[in-house]
Amino acid sequence: MQFMDFRHLGRSGLKVSEIAYGNWITHGSQVEEDAANACVRAALEEGITTFDTADVYAGTRAEEVLGRALKGQRRESLEIFTKVYWPTGDGPNDRGLSRKHIVESIHGSLRRLQTDYVDLYQAHRFDHETPLEETLKTFDDLVRQGKVLYIGVSEWRAEEIARALKIADEMGFDRIVSNQPQYSMLWRVIESEVVPLSEREGIGQVVWSPIAQGVLTGKYKPGEAPPAGSRATDEKSGATFIKRLMGDDVLTRVQRLKPIADEAGLSMAQLAVAWVLQNRNVSAAIIGATRPEQVRDNVKAAGVTLDGELLKRIDEILEPVVERDSAKTVSPPQRP
């Protein structure tokens, strides 16, 4: 079993495994349930206690698969995270962060996950149509009812997080303790604004896509077609999302990371996960997997320290293709 390190979720008392297991485009979609169960078992065996999902993943099926996979585990030994915002039905209220949608969504998530509470409930995007006071009051009510232990957000901009903190302090609501942004060697948009605010306010990052949807594993080669069965060929969800990272300029530079990974005694995936964990504002890095071996490989990034010279060399290689623009964190605009 891999030795797993644990970190506090922001300034809260909750400890999470620094590598978390997520099932965004795998469970209920990309892989069969037997394979999903095998991946969850591997995660548990490797010391992962933190599991992240969302009501919208695979049209609610991902929560059901995770609930079944974790059934029989001691609930107190797990940290289960889920999210609310995106449409889960066709009605006008089946989306967003209104009181109606949040309350209905948490009940659906608890039923699918087969649990009485979730450790972290996250606003999956900022809702421009609902008063922030309504959203935060509803989350606070769920905390007081014991259905939710902590509140977080995902892909919120610094000014949106700051507004929520101000309202929570003024109204006496529970504060946000986490943010779930995309973060990797190639995508660093949180570093200029979100991280400094979060460090001041005690918010931890639970980062997704630390290996950039697989690009940082080095398996995609410049000038070559993506390997059969890879995420870049998954038209259901993965291919569209990964497309912007598949240019030869990016892929060529990623290949130059291989000697650095070898020198550090790490696989390319381990190097990528270890890199995000060097940022002390990161509470956990979420990994996904279609096979148990991927879980066992990625968890070896836990507890790894990368020295400053190695980090500098990574920056020198990737800098021309790194995205740093904080404006790239954008919630869907208000509907007309």
Q: Which residues participate in catalysis according to the annotation? A: 57
CA distance 245 to 272: 15
Query: Are the C-beta atoms of residues 154 and 86 closer than 8 Å to each other?
Result: no
> 309: exposed, middle or buried (C-beta count within 10 Å: 0-12, 13-18, 19+)?
exposed
- Give Dmax over CA atoms of the chain in angstroms: 56
Is residue 150 within 8 A of residue 140, CB to CB? The reply is no
Q: Residue 238 and residue 145: Cα distance in Å, rounded?
A: 37
Residue among 66, 79, 60, 74 at smallest CA distance from 37? 66
Strand, coil or helix: 82: strand
Backbone angles phi, psi at 25, to 5 degrees: -120, 30
According to DSSP, the residues that pair with 180 across neighbouring strands are 154
Question: What values do phi and psi take at 51, rounded to 5?
Answer: -125, 130
From 85, 51, 94, 82, select the one nearest 69 (Cα to Cα).
51
Residues 6+ apart with CB under 8 A from 226: 220, 232, 233, 246
For residue 201, what is the enclosing H or E element?
Answer: helix 194-201
